[in-house]
Amino acid sequence: MPAFVGALGFALHPVQVEPVAWTSGMKDLLCGLLVMTALWQYVSFAQTIATDTTQRQRSRWHYALASLAFVLAPLAKPTAMITPLLALILDVLILRRGWRQVALALGPWFVYAIPVMLWTKAAQPAIGVPVAPLWARPLIALDSLAFYMAKIALPINLGVDYGRTPIRVLHDGSLWWTWIPPVALGLILLALRDRWLLVAAGVFVAGVAPVLGFTPFLFQYFSGVADHYLYISMLAVGLTFASLLAGQYPNPLRHRTVTGICAALLVIWSILSFRQAGFWRDDVALWERAIAVNPRSFLSHSNYGVVLFRQRDLARAEALFRKAIDLKPDYAIAHDNLALVLIQTGREDEAIEHIKRVLEISGQMPPALRPRVDKAHNLFGRVLMQRNRPREAAEHFRAALRFNPNLEEARQNLARAEQLLRDRSASPSD
């Protein structure tokens, strides 16, 4: 029963809605499945060896399956490289095997993990997000932990973009006090000396360690925290529930009280999760909710504008793109989207100004988040053609092809512009 309730605690918490409902969150689910399979088989391996040395063949199968799951997990998501650390926490604090046994079992995992992490880091393109100074990163990590602790304790106002970037946290001064809750909780757990609670805390921190801000990552351009980053860390909640229910209590009343609290939390979380899932029913509901949670989210305003643009609601889309630009004037994607609306509503002169802005500021954005510069040049050329300026248009079509030689639309537009220039050159009126 404790294990079953722990599993419910892991699954029913509202922060788990995002990775489950989000199509792109499939990588979190697959990674979590493989990481948990690796831990399950590793614990089975360690327990088999510890209780019955005659079952070596069986223990080898457990270890082989654990290792296979661990090797596959980073293919779903690189953060799976924290698996050896999670296994180490379980082995040392729960299984309590000797350090020599632990080193022999987990040594190959760490030997595999370290070079793969370095290779993954080297293979990634330049991220290009504003980077916090080294001295501030531990405080930013503690700020993220405090944020996650608050969302687990009080799972309301959950959204897809909290706008809590490291630079914002650094500038608003909150990191000077947000370190207090996680440090205080850590000291309390150390004083209590409860192994299961220490394991839960260790699993929680290890699960989000890759995205705490010690090293920059792409989504920090929008926010340094997100619900789906907690997927593996939510094992800590399951472990806490299981340990509380399996604990030895001096009287039945205390045990019933703990059981009642756990049951009440599961019911409340189920209701909140059902409500949270409703915000993911379609794009309109999702981005309306995102803006309600964080009205200063330029990402949410821009993405909601894209949804309305596709629905041909150009007036509302334009308003959202303009709001996104007001919130972040150097967000090139919003300028690009606004230019499309302006072209479709016959305001080419204003569209040209926004396309120029796209070309000016795209280089300031992380490369993976930049609008397609080739398409911006192609769009600029199309507007110039509509303004009967084929010579300038041809220059932009050529620029588009320099950025992307395979952009067939730009190639066709260039051919039309050059043909128009030839016709004009051959015309007697010229």
Q: Based on the fold, state whether residues 122 and 253 are members of the same structural domain.
A: yes
The verdict on 216 and 326 lying in the same domain is no
CB contact set of 422 (below 8 Å; sequence gap of 6+): none
> Mean pLDDT per segment of 10 residues, for the chain of length 430 residues?
92 96 89 96 88 73 95 92 96 90 93 84 63 89 96 96 92 91 96 92 96 87 94 96 84 88 96 97 96 97 96 96 96 92 88 87 72 82 86 87 86 88 68
CA distances, 332 to each of 205, 236, 338, 415 (Å):
35, 40, 10, 28
Task: Kindly state whether residues 273 and 370 are assigned to the same domain.
Answer: no
Cα–Cα distances in angstroms (integers) from residue 101 to residues 23, 98, 258, in the given order: 41, 5, 36
Task: Output the pLDDT for position 123.
Answer: 60
CATH number at residue 290: 1.25.40.10
Specify whether 300 is located in the same domain as 364.
yes
pTM for this prediction: 0.88
- Do 322 and 228 fall within a single domain? no
**Quick one: pLDDT at residue 212?**
93
Residue 217 half-sphere exposure toward CB, CA atoms < 13 A: 17
Number of domains the chain is built from? 2
pLDDT of 51: 65
Indicate if 297 and 171 belong to the same structural domain. Answer: no
pLDDT at 430: 44
One domain, residues 287 and 220: no
First to last CA, the chain: 89
Phi-psi region of 287 (alpha: psi -120 to 50; beta: other; left: phi over 0): alpha
Backbone angles phi, psi at 296, to 5 degrees: -100, 15
* Residue ranges making up the domain that contains 325: 283-426
Buried b (16+ CB within 10 A) or exposed e, 188-201: eeeeeeeebbbbbb
pLDDT for the residue numbered 128 = 63
Tokens linked to 39: 């831990």
Q: For residue 125, what pLDDT is reported? A: 57
With CA atoms as reference, report the closest residue to 236 among 1, 22, 15. Answer: 15
Q: Contact at 8 Å (CB) between 331 and 302?
A: yes
Same domain, yes or no, for 378 and 259? no
Q: What is the CA radius of gyration of the chain?
A: 27
Query: Which two structure tokens, joined as six digits, stand for 182?
Result: 């996680």
Residues 151 and 249 in one domain: yes
Q: Which of 254, 278, 302 is the last residue of a domain?
A: 278
DSSP 139-173: HHHHHHHHHHHHHHHS--S--S-----HHHHHHH-
Tell me if residue 137 falls in helix, strand or coil. Answer: helix
In this structure, how many other beta carbons lie within 10 angstroms of the beta carbon of residue 223?
Answer: 20
Q: CA of 348: how far to CAs of 182, 255, 342, in Å?
A: 53, 71, 6
Tell me, yes or no, whether 330 and 252 share the same domain: no
Pair 295, 401 in one domain: yes
How many Å apart are CA 63 and CA 298, to the nearest integer? Answer: 47
Structural domain ending residue among the three candidates 232, 252, 278: 278
Q: Which of 278, 297, 316 is the last residue of a domain?
A: 278
Name residue 80's amino acid: A
Q: Based on the fold, state whether residues 56 and 200 are members of the same structural domain.
A: yes
Decide: residue 354, CB within 10 A, 0-12 exposed, 13-18 middle, 19+ buried: buried
Closest by Cα among 338, 396, 410 to 371:
338
Which of 285, 144, 324, 121 has its CA nearest to residue 227? Answer: 144
Rounded (5°) CA angle 179-8-256: 90
What distance in Å separates the CA atoms of residue 3 and residue 325, rounded to the nearest whole number?
49
In the prediction, which pLDDT does 54 show? 62
**Is the dihedral angle over the CA atoms 192, 196, 202, 205 positive or is it negative?**
negative
